[in-house]
Structure formats: structure tokens, C-alpha cells
Chains A and B, each alone.
Chain A
Amino acid sequence: MKQPSVYGLMAEFESSSDLMNAARKSYEEGYRKMDAYSPFPIEELSEAIGFHHTKLPMIVLIGGIVGCLGGFFLQYWVSVIDYPINIGGRPFNSWPSFIPVTFETTVLVAALSAVLGMLGLNGLPTPYHPVFNVKRFALATRDRFFLCIESRDPKFELDGTRRFLETLTPREVSEVEP
């Protein structure tokens, strides 16, 4: 590997199909540390660059369980242990009455874990990221598609990777400053 004087090489494409092809070919070529950028979610694009699983559903499930148990036992503890009070002769542990609040706390904690988990796993907020050093990258949120092979990839080689990217018929290939 050469000294990482660049973050990577970025190729710009005009359509989602071109990006998809480029991503697949780069993966076949043996590149692993890369990312594809598109203005809207493209199904299978993340798989094409070798990203398959996300822990997010598990995080949300755990969040939901925590919210459910937490919500129920909050009410149980309050109504049975800390502040038992006779309301219309109902049992202290009137569990059917506790279900609505338990449901709401389940949804609340699960939703919070979905959002915070998504942001956390994605590393957002990201105050600085090298890809924004490419001027034309601003179009990644409009109508252009980008593939960036990063210099930390063992197979990365400034000239060789550039030549490889040129074969994928990009609009242009540019170096990404770190």
C-alpha cells in the first residue's frame, strides 16, 4: 500500500445502473473498502459493495423489550410497592390497566432505539468527511451517482485503481483529499 496521501478515488456516474455495474465490478475485482453514494436508496446497492447485515433490527427489538418491561415494572413498583392505594377495591397489581402504558413505553423506547441506533451505526452526525472535498460531490444529493474506492483498501494503488475505474465508463474520476 502506498502512503495514504489521498482518502481514495471517486468515480462519478450518470445513472443508477452505471453505479450498480461499477460497484459489482469493483467488488469482483477484489476491492472491499469502498462506498457508493446515491441521491436515493437503491435496493441491492449495499449488497453489491459487500455490505449485508445491519444490527439495527436487533437493537430495536432490545429497545422494545426494555421499554415493555421497564414500563410495566414502573407501574407495578409504583402501584404495589411504593405507593399502594386502594382505588375502587381493585387489586394493587391491576395488570390489565397497566397494558396501555406498557404498550406506549414499548413503542417509545423501540422508536428511539431505531433512530438513535441508525444514527449511531451510520456515524452521524459526522462534522467532517473527506468525500465532500470533491466539488462535484454536491450533486450526490441531486442527480449524480458516485463510487469511492478508499486508499485503506489493501488492493488500492493510485494509478492502478484509477485505470481500473476508467474502464467502468465514469463521467470522471477524481482524487479525494483526506
Chain B
Amino acid sequence: MSDEVLTAPQPESAQPAVIEPGHTFASVTDKISSIVLGGRPPLGWFVGFGIAFLLLMGLLFTIANLLFVGVGIWGINVPVGWGFDIINFVWWIGIGHAGTLISAILLLLRQTWRTSINRFAEAMTLFAVACAGLYPIMHMGRPWLAYWLFPYPNTMGIWPQFRSPLVWDVFAVSTYGTVSLLFWFVGLIPDLATLRDRSRNIVSQKIYGILAMGWRGSAQHWHRYETAYNLLAALSTPLVISVHTIVSFDFAVGLIPGWHATIFPPYFVAGAIYAGFAMVLTLAIPIRAIYGLEGFITMRHLQNMAKVMLATGLLVAYGYMMETFTAWYSGNQYEKFMIWNRMTGPYAKMYWALIFCNVICPQLLWSSRIRNHIPSLFGISIIVSIGMWLERFIIIVTSLHRDFLPSSWGMYHGTKFDWTMFLGTIGLFFTLLFLFVRVLPMISIFEMRTLLPEAEVREEEA
């Protein structure tokens, strides 16, 4: 054995490490599993969970009211028939996309730094998709008939209309939810086995034991496991791009000025990744502080995520620019009016707030001082999340509220139930996230082990 393999592989240049030096298989395992098995969670968990749970109750109240009264409790009406429901649907779906990007695309690109953030980014995807899915279902008016969306033989003798992007959306979102769940669960199996073996409590041993399905870390199993995991990543990569592309088709296939644009698919995908990374940062920064995970989620992760945000933010800015340019260059009076109305009309304040949040503010990330300053990163990530919400508001509301004929013009504002529903889904998201952090390992333990220098197999001279 030579000396150079004995020393830990140092990242070139002065970049911070992906994992703090000094960790061993045992310490990584114990540190991450103790968050779940170690008894009482920290005080911050109770406070956070309590707030999230209160908001969730608001959601239940809103939904009960909605089922009782109807969608009239929302602000939607002619001409703005798509309001908060679709804005929030697109916002949540977009947030989910970063989870898949981190877990699938960065896995295929062999970006090992993804390891300590992929698990909770995937959980974030699942919970965001759950929040997103609620909106179109509740928007139906009679959500108990939601299964009509799927093609199944029925006594009415009718079938879904497969030429409609709204039906594509059903398939895209349900496939995305299913595949994300599978990917997440497959990633969890070896860690569930770790929890089964580490737990000292008979009930949790049984539960983790059933979920781990008898995983024992056999070399043959690992071999098939890795094959399956890589194939799932390869399948999820085009899937995630297709999902937001299809979401953008909901708009782009329509004839409304402001929606009918070929730039929409790439621009939506970039926006989704942008919003998603902002949300991952928003979650990662408090979690690493509360649970003392600075050794696993290092500055390297935060910096890399900031760089991805900057890059996708520039793509999104390009999208805004091209939207404006196309409206002018097309010479189409309705397109020109739409852009002019966005910039100077009744919603101009929101448009310029969007430009500030999504285009101007993230330019701060060019500076490495800002990328190393955690409070600034946290602030920028929240501003970007707000900006991406405003983007969807602007796309949907300003395109609809000025119809072709001035007699059909109107204004749109969210009602108090729109807001309780929105805050309620935020509550649902964080409730699920807090429960996840409590009962499942939020960092992939087995993948962290592979990052350690001792994981390297030293070949013995034959």
C-alpha cells in the first residue's frame, strides 16, 4: 500500500470539504441516526412544528369551507378564472424540482457534494408535490370526482380528452409524485436497516424492520440496488424536465397573449430549479444550525447551491428579456399591450417587485463574500422564493385580467380564504417536513459513509 492513498483526498484549491475531517463510519452513523433515535427533539423542533401545525389547521378549515360553499370563496371570477390555485400549484411544483435535480441529475454527474442534502431535498420534493396536487383538485369544484381525470372504463362511456394539456398535466404530476416517492423510498431502505439495528426500542425496531424489508447489505443486493438507483436517476432526469415543460404547456398551448410563447418550457424549467434551490437553502440553513450538522452540510454545499441559484436566475432573467423582446418584435398589438400593461398597468408594482427579487437581488451572489455569509444567503433565498411566486402571479393574472375586449376587463385579488389556503399549504409542507426530520434520517447515512477516506478499498499486492 502506498502512502498517498492513506491520506484523505484533499479537494484542490481552498474549497471547504464536503464532509468535516475526522469522521468515521461509526461517527457518521451515530450522529445522523441519533437525531431520530435520540429521544426528545430540540426546542426549535417543537416551536416550528407547532406553528406549521396551526397553519395546517387553517388549511383544513379552508378546505372544509370550500367543500361546503364552493370555489366562490376564492377571488377567481371572469375574466381571471385562474388565480391563487394555479399560481400556488406552479409555485409548489417548481419548488419540488430542485429535489429531483439534486438527487438525480447531480448523481449522474457524480457530484458527491449532493450526498448530504439529497435526502431532505427529495422529501421536500414529495411534500411540495403533495401541496401542489391539492390545488387543481380543490379547484375542480367537486373534488370528490377527481378520479374522473384518469382514464378508466366507466358507465358514462366517456374518456379524458388526450389532446388537452390539462390531461397531460394529470399524467405528468401523478407520475412525478410516484417516481419521486419510489426514488426516495429506495434511497431510504439501507438507512431504515441501520435504524432497525441501532434502535433500542422494540416498537421502533419493528416499524423500521418492516420498512427495511430485511435489508442486510449483501454484496449482490448492493449491486442490484446501485443499478436500480442509477436507472431511477436516469429516468427521473428527463421526467423532471418534462413535468415543468408540461406545466408550461398549460399556458403556452393557450392563445392568451402572455401565455402563448415558445420560450415557456425552458423558462419554466429554469425557474423551477431556481425556486427549488432557494427553498433547499431556506431549509438547509436552519436545519444545520438546529441539529449541529455543520460537519455534513458544509459551506461548500451552501456555496454550490448559491452558484446554481445565480446561474438559473440568469436563465430566468433571459426569459423575462425574451418575453419582452418577442412582444415588441412580433408587432402583435395584443402582445405589445400585454407587456406594456404588465410594466405600467395596475399590477406594475408587482412586476417591478418581481424584477427586483428575481433579477437584481441575486446578482449579489457574484460576490464570494456574500456566498460565504450565511444570513445573506438565507435572506436572498427567501427573496427569490417570493420573487418566483410573484412571477407566477404576474404570468397568470396580468395575462388574464385584460381580455381582448375592454368590456371584459377586470381586476383580481386573493380573498382571505385564498391566503389561508396558501398559508395552509405552507403549514402542510412544514408539518410533513418536521415529522420527516423526526422519524427518518434526513441525511443519507450509507452514502455519507462512501464519502469517507476509509471507504476506499486498498488493494493488497497479490
Interface residues of A in 74-109 (CB under 8 A from B): 74-75, 78-79, 82-83, 85, 87, 90, 94, 97-98, 100-101, 103-105, 107-108
Known contacts A39-B446, A100-B249; is A115 also within 8 Å of B186 by CB? yes
Contacts of B457 in A (CB 8 A): 16-17, 20, 42-44
A138 touches B159 (CB 8 A): no
Residue among A101, A126, A143 making CB contact with B29, cutoff 8 Å: A143
Smallest CB–CB gap between B412 and chain A, Å?
28
Known contacts A54-B224, A111-B232; is A124 also within 8 Å of B454 by CB? no
* Contact-residue bracket for chain B: 35 or more
Contacts of B290 in A (CB 8 A): none
Smallest CB–CB gap between A86 and chain B, Å?
11
Contacts of B294 in A (CB 8 A): none
Which of A1-9, A127-135, A154-162 faces chain B? A127-135
Smallest CB–CB gap between B272 and chain A, Å?
17
B455 touches A97 (CB 8 A): no
Complex: how many Å from CA A135 to CA B159? 58
Which of B64-72, B166-174, B358-366, B426-434 faces chain A? B166-174
Smallest CB–CB gap between A127 and chain B, Å?
6
Complex: how many Å from CA A168 to CA B217? 21
Contacts of B25 in A (CB 8 A): 39, 142-143
A41 touches B216 (CB 8 A): no
A174 an interface residue at 8 Å Cβ cutoff? Answer: no
Nearest residue in B to A142 (C-beta to C-beta)?
A: B29
Complex: how many Å from CA A110 to CA B238? 13
Known contacts A111-B182, A142-B197; is A41 also within 8 Å of B213 by CB? no
A15 touches B219 (CB 8 A): no
Residue among B178, B194, B225 making CB contact with A118, cutoff 8 Å: B225
Nearest residue in B to A38 (C-beta to C-beta)?
A: B217
A36 touches B232 (CB 8 A): no
Contacts of A46 in B (CB 8 A): 219-220, 222-223
Contacts of A87 in B (CB 8 A): 161, 163
> Chain A residues in contact with chain B, CB under 8 A?
15-17, 20-21, 23, 35-46, 48-49, 51, 54, 56-57, 60, 74-75, 78-79, 82-83, 85, 87, 90, 94, 97-98, 100-101, 103-105, 107-108, 110-112, 114-115, 117-119, 121-122, 124-129, 131-132, 137-143
Complex: how many Å from CA A132 to CA B225? 20
B226 touches A129 (CB 8 A): no
B450 touches A36 (CB 8 A): no
B125-153 CB mask vs A (1 if < 8 Å, else 0) is: 00000000000000000000000000100
Complex: how many Å from CA A118 to CA B157? 38
Nearest residue in A to B162 (C-beta to C-beta)?
A: A75
Complex: how many Å from CA A78 to CA B152? 10
Complex: how many Å from CA A141 to CA B205? 14
B216 touches A82 (CB 8 A): no
Nearest residue in B to A44 (C-beta to C-beta)?
A: B457
Contacts of A54 in B (CB 8 A): 223-224, 227
Residue among A41, A104, A128 making CB contact with B222, cutoff 8 Å: A41
Q: Could you show 15 A-B contacts with beta carbons less than 8 Å apart?
A: A35-B218, A35-B220, A36-B219, A38-B222, A46-B222, A78-B160, A104-B168, A104-B171, A104-B175, A107-B179, A111-B183, A118-B227, A127-B214, A141-B194, A143-B25
Smallest CB–CB gap between B21 and chain A, Å?
17
Contacts of A35 in B (CB 8 A): 218-220
Complex: how many Å from CA A117 to CA B275? 34
Q: 15 more A-B contacts (CB under 8 A) besides A39-B25, A118-B186?
A: A21-B460, A37-B218, A38-B222, A39-B29, A40-B450, A46-B219, A46-B222, A49-B220, A60-B231, A101-B171, A107-B235, A112-B178, A114-B231, A118-B227, A140-B217
